[in-house]
Amino acid sequence: MIIAAVSLSFILQLSYSSCHNFVTLLSPSINTAFFTMRYLSIITLLWAFSFSLIGVYLAGQVDAWFSVLTRVCLAAVVFLPFLRTKHLQPKLALKLMVVGAFQLGLMYCFYYQSFLYLTVPEVLLFTIFTPIYVTLIYDALHKQFSPWYLLSAVIAVIGAAVIKFEGINQHFIIGFFIVQGANLCFAIGQVGYKRIIEQEQADIPQHTVFGWFYLGAVCVAVPMYLLFGNSAKLPTTPLQWGILVYLGVIASGVGYFIWNKGATLVNAGALAIMNNALVPAGLIVNIVIWNHNVDYPRLIIGGGIILSSLWFNETWVKNKVTAQRQTQNSSL
């Protein structure tokens, strides 16, 4: 585990530093954009372990609905103490609950079920469509279409698709559509949160209202467990309980707040690309610790394509879209 952590940290820091230094030479004005990407990079490293922890220690052993319920309840407990009434607006609270219901509640319902049909590498591979959903939903909310953002997302998808695995099991079609349900809910949630924060006039400290996000997820997880949960498949070992606590408090509680915070600081293209950075990161963890067979050349090439899509987005696409929209606004 230590080797995996060091390897992932080195790769993320190297890719970040290389892109940052090169881009700064080309255009110092986008230096700030790369700094804000650290929010998303940190959580990419954190979440890289979640796929394997679920697939190896929980899937098929612990009831999936109980896992979802435990994870979102623990995450809610982390942020409930930070809720402040002076920042409480019923409309804002309701919006955040809806976002949390999608991004955490419904997404986890699909996500945990997918491990019953797919291996960890397959689940990772099928998440490559998330950037497309992120870009299309973001543009739809703004009543506009930016083919350049979509192009940068497609490049990232191509990079992730290069990293493919053989021997997909017989349930792969069902598993594929289950993962797409998770991808769509995840995209709706993070784009919805970004949109809500953009619309807020006041500079509200996000940690003082984020508890509503988790309460929305709880509103989904509780009835789903009551309807479909199996109390005979609760955790039986300290390791399983420990993993659930880690996933709830750290990966979800801390992770989603930082991820959504980062989502408000970058454009739609960069947000879409960082969703696909989870694919090579998750595969590295799975390979190093659990020794899954992998085609190393494909992993390296695919990861390189994903990084190039990030460079393309930050050095060209962002300025191109901004210029186009300024031209459109001035002509109105």
Burial 26-44 (b: 16+ CB within 10 A, else e): eeeebeebbebbbbbbbbb
**Residue at 273 is within a domain:** yes
For position 111, what pLDDT does the model report?
Answer: 94
**Residue at 142 is within a domain:** yes
**Residue at 221 is within a domain:** yes
Q: Please state the domain count of the chain.
A: 1
User: pLDDT tens digits, residue range 202-256?
Assistant: 577 778 888 999 999 999 999 999 999 999 999 999 999 999 999 999 999 999 8
Contact yes or no for 311/27 (Cβ under 8 A)? no
Q: What torsion, rounded to 10 degrees, do the Cα atoms 46, 47, 51, 57 define?
A: 50
**Residue at 330 is within a domain:** no
Entry field: residues in the chain: 332
**Residue at 32 is within a domain:** yes
User: pLDDT tens digits, residue range 118-150?
Assistant: 888 778 878 877 887 887 887 787 777 777 777
For position 250, what pLDDT does the model report?
Answer: 94
User: pLDDT tens digits, residue range 62-119?
Assistant: 999 999 999 999 999 999 888 876 757 788 889 999 999 999 999 999 999 999 988 8
Q: Report the alpha-carbon angle 308-309-315, nearest 5.
A: 85
**Residue at 144 is within a domain:** yes
Residue (of 324, 274, 294, 289) closest to 33 by Cα position: 274
User: pLDDT tens digits, residue range 3-40?
Assistant: 443 344 443 444 444 334 433 333 444 444 555 677 78
Query: Which amino acid, one-letter code, is at 320?
Result: K
**Residue at 331 is within a domain:** no
Higher pLDDT, 182 or 302: 182
Q: Which domain holds residue 105?
A: 2-324
**Residue at 329 is within a domain:** no
**pTM score > 0.95 for this model?**
no
